[in-house]
């Protein structure tokens, strides 16, 4: 008997079911339960009249700075001002979708490749934003490598106000509707990386970025 | 981690006498409690969410085998390999074998309490494989060669001075006690390991049946490194971690960071599903998921199955007056506090951890703060009953409980004994009405005085109250219910 069979039959015996494998009927019941995709109770903060205000309030709380831009074309200028204000170098590693913008006009060099361990600033997009917690949802793909959001000291993310949803449940519904399945990496980011493991004293910038900045497009 | 729970009494006394630990614990306890209290009032339907979460965990546990098989099917479909381990040793064997088969020299690991349960680091090192803890707290403890003392903040018992001493030796830099500087040192030391490790090992806060996803919740981003950069990603987790859907995760994540450290949301919620796709520049080529039993099925179907609802937030220990005073190491195994007092005796045998279910004042705070409503005091009481029934408590204690049980079921006898006892105790209290030493309970009076009773029993006082002469008509209904009920 394999370890799998032993564990499964132990569970089944303890709960009064014979055998070492769930029956087709039991699996069908479980799949039916999953297919219901029942949502839990939604708190008041998840259903606000002004999701954008809620999103920005939560960003402020976790230390994510944000800027509302009127179009994709102004992103290079907004990035340039952010880099300038934070004393950062004018070089980015960016997701492919942003490589074609007019960076040259703002004196910024963009590397169109996945980030390496020594890159200073990474620019990514996002699948959607979640108002309840001031969170961005990012999905991995060949054009959207996770490393760009993770390895650089500064993470700048572009999000769309049209793709701002109220809750994580809404984000998952959008993901299922548009993509069907989860990509290899599906990750929610809320602010820069942090730790409080020494004397519960909060330090920003543990292993991931020190700074998180969101540019909100219409 | 080696089980040391049989030494609970001795170790907890030592911890109470340790001035450094006492200072560090005092510093910690207020923060956890205050931050959680502030965070949960922002949720207007906290109780409804707790109730829903407890129900969804119960529903899954009631058909645990089918949810696990459904998870396995979906994870496999996405290219992950699912392994099953009955025991701690088997879990280590599987991971060591994967490492060997792939010529792995260096492993980075993000925090996993299951890996502590099974002694993974020791087994990897014994097989000649370097394994590096990457959670800052765990990294500190690996340098100190100590086990974690808290499941969320593993190095909560360490002061920054102690960390500075460890880092000075490990990093060969000039000593600093500035916490941001210390954190930066660890970042620099670990960054290179992240980029060069052959294999990453993570735990999983949950695994999702619907999608075959494993999931980590962190603030540091170390689990993201470990699951993104190396060519092989291994997950080690318990069989009870399966949840049905992404929606269920959305519910549980409203509870977990708030209960754990009073945070609205953790910085990184990382869902990993299968191996890298064609053209992906990052992500592992192999993904292995080890589902560990190691005692969990002992809870399944028992009168203690509720314990498997646990989502490992640590709120029960943060709010426990016993934990707050002795810290986590005294409990002698991976899980301290009330959760450990239930898990440890069942996982490692009650004969090795007999004091743990008794290390509780039954104040009930753990149950009140538990995000999935685990009746922890009830479960500890059940373990105490098991110990009594199996003669695992000392003879004197069992005889005393038997004698008390005999008397309390005979009201007249009990009244007579209580009348004598209260008078003797009042006499023992002397002029200052304090008992300094009690025969048969010197463990109690060694460290504290006991106030002496009045000299009369409650029933005597009740009978002699002025209104008693009026036949009890003057007693308010609430007093009658609250105090008088059950009086003969």
Q: How many CA atoms lie within 13 A of B174 on its CB side?
A: 0
Residue B287, beta-bridge partner list: B80, B233
Both structure tokens of B140: 């500190």
Whether the predicted interface score ipTM is above 0.95: yes
Cβ within 8 Å, pair B267-A62 = yes
Better-scored residue on pLDDT, B197 or B400: B197
Task: Among B90, B239, B281, select the one facing A142 at the smallest CB separation.
Answer: B281
Task: Residue B465: count other Cβ atoms within 10 Å of its Cβ.
Answer: 11
Nearest-by-CA chain B residue for A170: B247
Q: What share of chain A has pLDDT > 70, as a percent? A: 100
Task: Among A146, A190, A205, select the one facing B265 at the smallest CB separation.
Answer: A190
Helix (H) or strand (E) holding B235: strand B232-238
Nearest-by-CA chain B residue for A7: B86
Cβ within 8 Å, pair B219-A195 = yes
- DSSP characters for B337-397? HHHHHHHHHHHH-GGGSTTGGGS-----HHHHH-TT---HHHHHHHHHHHHHHTT-S-HHH
pLDDT tens readout for residues A38-92: 999 999 999 899 999 999 999 999 999 999 999 999 999 999 999 999 999 999 9
Contact indicator for A95, A124 with CB cutoff of 8 Å: yes
**Residue B487 pLDDT:** 39
Cβ within 8 Å, pair B301-A117 = no
- Which residues, in sequence order, are CB contacts of B12 under 8 Å at separation 6+? B326, B330, B359
**Residue B488 pLDDT:** 38
B279 vs A contacts (CB less than 8 Å):
141-142
Where b means 16+ CB within 10 Å and e means fewer, B324-354 reads: bbbbbbbbbbbbbbbbbbbbbbbbbebebbb
Q: In what order do the strands lie in the sheet with A65-68?
A: A65-68, A211-217, A154-160, A121-124, A91-94, A109-111
Q: What are phi and psi of A212, to 5 degrees?
A: -130, 130
Euclidean distance between CA atoms B416 and A8, whole angstroms: 56
Tell me, yes or no, if A210 comes closer than 8 A to chain B by beta carbon: no
- B22 has a pLDDT exceeding 80: yes
Please state whether beta strands B268-272 and B213-218 pair in parallel, antiparallel, or not at all (unpaired).
Answer: antiparallel
Tell me, yes or no, if A174 comes closer than 8 A to chain B by beta carbon: no
Torsion of CA B371, B372, B375, B376, to 10 degrees: -60
> Across all residues in chain B, what is the average pLDDT?
92
Contact residues, A window 138-167, toward B, CB-based 8 Å cutoff: 140-142, 145-147, 150, 167
Euclidean distance between CA atoms A163 and B177, whole angstroms: 44
**Residue B100 pLDDT:** 98
Task: Among A42, A150, A184, select the one facing B280 at the smallest CB separation.
Answer: A184
Q: Looking at residues B214-232, what average pLDDT do you find?
A: 96
**Residue B471 pLDDT:** 52
- B439 has a pLDDT exceeding 90: no
Euclidean distance between CA atoms A153 and A142, whole angstroms: 22
Interface probe for A, chosen from B82, B111, B221 (most Cβ of A below 10 Å), is B221
Q: Looking at residues A8-24, what average pLDDT do you find?
A: 97
DSSP state, residue A144? B
Euclidean distance between CA atoms B465 and B459, whole angstroms: 10
**Residue B420 pLDDT:** 92
B48 vs A contacts (CB less than 8 Å):
41
Nearest-by-CA chain B residue for A19: B65
Where b means 16+ CB within 10 Å and e means fewer, B269-278 reads: bbbbbbbbee
**Residue B30 pLDDT:** 81
pLDDT tens readout for residues B377-421: 999 999 999 998 888 888 888 898 899 999 999 999 999 999 999
Cβ within 8 Å, pair B220-A206 = yes
**Residue B468 pLDDT:** 64
Both structure tokens of B232: 């092989």
**Residue A182 pLDDT:** 97
Three-class secondary structure of residue B307 per DSSP: helix
Name which of B62-66, B268-272, B349-353, B477-481 the model is least confident about. Answer: B477-481
Q: Looking at residues A182-206, what average pLDDT do you find?
A: 95
Task: Among A30, A43, A181, select the one facing B43 at the smallest CB separation.
Answer: A43
Taking Cα atoms as reference points, which of A186, A11, A15, A36 lies closest to residue B69? A11
Euclidean distance between CA atoms B217 and B300, whole angstroms: 26
- A105 has a pLDDT exceeding 70: yes
Output the CA angle B339-B389-B447, nearest 5 degrees.
60
**Residue B454 pLDDT:** 82
Cβ within 8 Å, pair B219-A4 = no
The owner of tokens 């087709």 is A24
- B179 has a pLDDT exceeding 50: yes
pLDDT tens readout for residues B243-256: 999 999 999 999 99
Q: Length of chain A, please? A: 218
**Residue A209 pLDDT:** 96
Nearest-by-CA chain B residue for A205: B220
Three-class secondary structure of residue A170 per DSSP: helix
pLDDT tens readout for residues B441-483: 777 788 788 889 888 888 888 888 887 655 544 444 444 444 4
- B484 has a pLDDT exceeding 70: no
Task: Among A38, A142, A199, select the one facing B160 at the smallest CB separation.
Answer: A199
Q: What share of chain A has pLDDT > 90, as a percent? A: 98
Both structure tokens of A119: 């890159």
**Residue B396 pLDDT:** 86
**Residue B470 pLDDT:** 55
- Nearest CA-CA distance, residue B60 and chain A, Å: 9
What is the value of pTM for the model shown?
A: 0.92
Better-scored residue on pLDDT, B465 or A95: A95
Taking Cα atoms as reference points, which of B258, B287, B253 lies closest to residue B269? B253
Euclidean distance between CA atoms A177 and A170, whole angstroms: 11
Cβ within 8 Å, pair A197-B31 = no
Q: Length of chain B, please? A: 488
Contact indicator for B33, B323 with CB cutoff of 8 Å: no
**Residue B453 pLDDT:** 87
- The burial of A75, by beta-carbon neighbours within 10 Å (0-12 exposed, 13-18 middle, 19 or more buried), is given as buried
Euclidean distance between CA atoms B66 and B84, whole angstroms: 15
Instruction: Compute chain A's Rg from CA coordinates.
Output: 22
Cβ within 8 Å, pair B219-A194 = yes
- B21 has a pLDDT exceeding 50: yes
**Residue B346 pLDDT:** 96
């Amino acid at each position: 008997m394999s370890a799998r069979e032993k564990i499964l039959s132990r569970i089944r015996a303890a709960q009064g079911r014979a055998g070492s494998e769930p029956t087709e009927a039991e699996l069908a019941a479980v799949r039916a339960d999953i297919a219901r995709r029942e949502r839990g109770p939604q708190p008041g903060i998840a259903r606000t009249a002004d999701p954008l205000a809620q999103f920005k309030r939560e960003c402020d709380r976790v230390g994510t700075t944000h800027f509302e831009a009127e179009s994709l074309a102004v992103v290079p200028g907004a990035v340039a001002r952010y880099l300038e204000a934070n004393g950062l170098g004018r070089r980015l590693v960016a997701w492919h979708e942003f490589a074609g913008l007019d960076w040259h006009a703002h004196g910024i060099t963009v590397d169109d490749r996945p980030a390496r361990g020594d890159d200073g600033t990474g620019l990514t997009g996002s699948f959607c934003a979640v108002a309840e917690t001031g969170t961005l949802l990012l999905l991995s793909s060949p054009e959207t490598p996770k490393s760009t959001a993770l390895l650089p000291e500064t993470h700048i993310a572009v999000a769309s106000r049209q793709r701002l949803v109220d809750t994580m449940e809404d984000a998952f519904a959008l993901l299922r509707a548009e993509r069907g399945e989860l990509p290899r990496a599906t990750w929610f980011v809320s602010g820069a990386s942090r730790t409080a493991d020494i004397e519960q004293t909060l330090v920003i910038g543990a292993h991931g970025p020190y700074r998180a900045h969101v540019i909100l497009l219409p | 981690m080696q089980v040391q729970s049989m030494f609970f009494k001795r170790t907890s006394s030592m911890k109470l006498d340790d001035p450094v630990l006492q200072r560090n614990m005092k510093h910690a306890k207020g923060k956890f409690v205050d931050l959680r209290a502030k965070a949960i009032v922002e949720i207007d339907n906290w109780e409804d969410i707790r109730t829903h979460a407890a129900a969804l965990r119960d529903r899954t546990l009631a058909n645990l085998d089918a949810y696990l098989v459904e998870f396995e099917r979906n994870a496999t479909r996405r290219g992950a390999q699912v392994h099953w381990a009955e025991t701690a040793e088997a879990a280590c064997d599987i991971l060591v074998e994967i490492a060997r088969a792939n010529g792995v020299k260096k492993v980075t690991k993000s925090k996993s309490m299951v890996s502590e349960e099974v002694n993974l680091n020791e087994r990897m090192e014994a097989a000649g494989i370097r394994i590096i803890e990457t959670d800052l707290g765990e990294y500190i403890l690996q340098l100190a060669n100590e086990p974690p003392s808290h499941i969320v903040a593993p190095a909560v018992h360490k002061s920054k001075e102690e960390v500075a001493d460890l880092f000075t030796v490990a990093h060969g830099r000039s000593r600093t006690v500035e916490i941001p500087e210390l954190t930066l040192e660890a970042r620099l030391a670990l960054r290179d390991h992240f980029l060069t490790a052959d294999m990453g090992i993570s735990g999983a806060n949950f695994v999702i049946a619907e999608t075959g996803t494993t999931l980590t919740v962190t603030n540091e981003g170390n689990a993201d490194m470990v699951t993104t950069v190396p060519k092989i990603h291994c997950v080690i987790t318990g069989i009870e971690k399966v949840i049905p859907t992404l929606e269920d995760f959305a519910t549980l994540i409203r509870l977990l960071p708030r209960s754990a450290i009073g945070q609205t949301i953790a910085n990184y919620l990382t869902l990993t599903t299968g191996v890298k796709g064609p053209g992906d520049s990052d992500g592992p080529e192999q993904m292995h998921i080890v589902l560990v039993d190691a005692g969990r099925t002992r809870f399944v179907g028992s009168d203690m199955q509720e314990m498997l609802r646990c989502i490992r937030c640590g709120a029960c220990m943060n709010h426990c007056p016993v934990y707050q005073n002795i810290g986590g190491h005294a409990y002698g195994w991976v899980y301290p506090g009330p959760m450990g007092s239930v898990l440890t005796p069942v996982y490692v045998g009650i004969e090795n951890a007999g004091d743990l279910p008794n290390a509780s004042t039954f104040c009930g705070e753990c149950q009140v703060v538990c995000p999935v409503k685990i009746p922890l005091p009830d479960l500890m009481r059940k373990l105490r009953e098991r110990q009594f029934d199996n003669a695992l408590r000392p003879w004197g204690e069992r005889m005393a409980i038997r004698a008390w049980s005999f008397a309390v079921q005979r009201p007249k006898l009990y009244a007579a004994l209580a009348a004598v006892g209260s008078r003797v105790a009042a006499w023992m209290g002397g002029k200052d009405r304090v008992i300094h030493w009690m025969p048969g309970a010197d463990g109690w009076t060694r460290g504290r005085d006991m106030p002496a009773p009045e000299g009369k029993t409650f029933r005597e006082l009740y009978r002699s109250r002025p209104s008693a002469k009026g036949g009890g008509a003057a007693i308010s209904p609430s007093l009658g219910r609250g105090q008088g009920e059950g009086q003969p």
